[in-house]
Amino acid sequence: MKVAVVGATGLVGSKMLQVLTERNFPVTELIPVASEKSVGKEVTFKGKAYKVVTAETAISMRPNVALFSAGGSISLEWAPKFAAAGITVIDNSSAWRMDPSKKLVVPEINGKTLTPEDKIIANPNCSTIQMVLVLDPLHALYGINRVVVSTYQSVTGTGVKAVNQLMNERKGVTGEMAYAYPIDLNVIPQIDVFLDNGYTKEEMKMVNETKKIMGDERIRVTATTVRIPVMGGHSESVNIEFEKDFDLAAVRSVLEKAPGVIVVDDPSRQQYPMPKDAHERDEVFVGRIRRDETQPNTLNMWIVADNLRKGAATNAVQIAEYLNQKQWL
């Protein structure tokens, strides 16, 4: 089992290597891929050093699967070349997510839609993944009409440069800025670029990806995405309007049984999900489950997950695990 990791030296790429190790994915040879300036550097995986190579060299080495986390432009250029060589690509960028010919996969929800012919598989946006894992079992029971989500997203979602900006500001050190404004002791209500409709690209990702993953174009989603000075993971305040009424105890029971979801919801003991508790965990945590008292059939909740793990690396590796179990790699 040869595995290429494209973008192996980045935050998500490094996390992919960590998750592959932790989950004992059967890697016999690692092929770390990065930009020209990183070629020749070494990446350590399971105690062994591997030299970083170019994407072109990686294709010639014929990996079974390539996990991409090097940005949309790299994915658009190189994923088709890997796929043409018979290599299955699992891509973490936004490049292929809304392509109607490509599957957008959260294994617990729609992994079964995959086939051996799917050579480029899209990994959803981090904030979408954690939300749909909670929404999907509730949609099956009650039918979702509308979702209003506000996110509180970690600087790790931007990358190393943003983490460095936050840490520099904490220390009072001047350094390279990932954002247009300071992030420490601040929140920035913009993630990605603004579009013509006044929403950001990140907000529209949540709108469009939710419908595609859950296979229902009727679900209405509106989002506000916000960057906060946090490291451990993304948090979301989610308001869900259902077609049918629900019982709160039944909602909790359904979520407690949902794969990959952990309910942390005991207000009497001040127990609810927080990014620091989700850090380095693969599960999605949900709490503050309560009825919206302003309108019928509507629920409020708070959802937290480690955006580098289930929001990116772990979901990609889980897709690879599914393909491997099917003996399609």
For the four alpha carbons of 7, 203, 235 and 163, in that order, the dihedral sign comes to positive
Do residue 151 and residue 256 come from a single domain? yes
Do residue 302 and residue 168 come from a single domain? yes
Do residue 198 and residue 298 come from a single domain? yes
Q: Which residues contact 270 (CB under 8 A, 6 or more apart)?
A: none
Q: Is 97 annotated as a binding residue?
A: yes
Rounded Cα distance between 65 and 74, Å, is 16
Q: Is 37 annotated as a binding residue?
A: yes
Do residue 207 and residue 255 come from a single domain? yes
User: 65: helix, coil or strand?
Assistant: strand
Which CATH number fits the domain that encloses residue 299?
3.30.360.10
User: How much is the pLDDT for 158?
Assistant: 95
Number of structural domains found in the chain: 2
H helix runs in 85-191, sequence order: 107-110, 126-142, 160-171
User: How much is the pLDDT for 251?
Assistant: 98
Amino acid at 3: V
> Are 132 and 211 contacting, i.e. CB atoms less than 8 angstroms apart?
no
Q: Which residues are catalytic?
A: 126, 234
Q: Is 134 annotated as a binding residue?
A: no
Q: Is 10 annotated as a binding residue?
A: yes
User: How much is the pLDDT for 252?
Assistant: 98
Which domain range does residue 167 map to?
127-307
Q: Is 9 annotated as a binding residue?
A: yes
User: How much is the pLDDT for 172?
Assistant: 97
How long is the chain? 329
Q: What phi and psi values does residue 155 have, to the nearest 5 degrees?
A: -65, -20
Rounded Cα distance between 216 and 144, Å, is 10
Q: Is 14 annotated as a binding residue?
A: no
Do residue 92 and residue 196 come from a single domain? no
Do residue 58 and residue 144 come from a single domain? no
Do residue 117 and residue 170 come from a single domain? no
CA atoms within 13 A on the CB side of 283: 16
Q: Is 35 annotated as a binding residue?
A: no
Taking 50 as the pLDDT cut, the residues of the chain under it are none
Rounded Cα distance between 72 and 70, Å, is 7
Partners of residue 194 on adjacent β-strands: 200
Q: Is 307 annotated as a binding residue?
A: yes
| Closest to 12 in 3D by CA, of 286, 279, 312 | 312
- Specify whether the backbone of 63 is left (phi greater than 0), alpha (psi in -120 to 50) or beta: beta
User: How much is the pLDDT for 105?
Assistant: 98
Relative orientation angle of helices 248-257 and 126-142, to the nearest 10 degrees: 130
Do residue 204 and residue 248 come from a single domain? yes
CA dihedral 166, 69, 281, 146 (to 10 degrees): 90
Rounded Cα distance between 242 and 302, Å, is 17
Do residue 145 and residue 272 come from a single domain? yes
User: How much is the pLDDT for 49?
Assistant: 96
Partners of residue 222 on adjacent β-strands: 148
Do residue 34 and residue 118 come from a single domain? yes
Widest pairwise Cα distance in the chain: 60
User: How much is the pLDDT for 308?
Assistant: 97
Question: Per residue in 218-276, pLDDT tens?
Answer: 999 999 999 999 998 999 999 999 999 999 999 999 999 999 999 999 999 999 999 99
Partners of residue 286 on adjacent β-strands: 263, 303
Do residue 88 and residue 154 come from a single domain? no
Do residue 99 and residue 147 come from a single domain? no
User: How much is the pLDDT for 229?
Assistant: 98
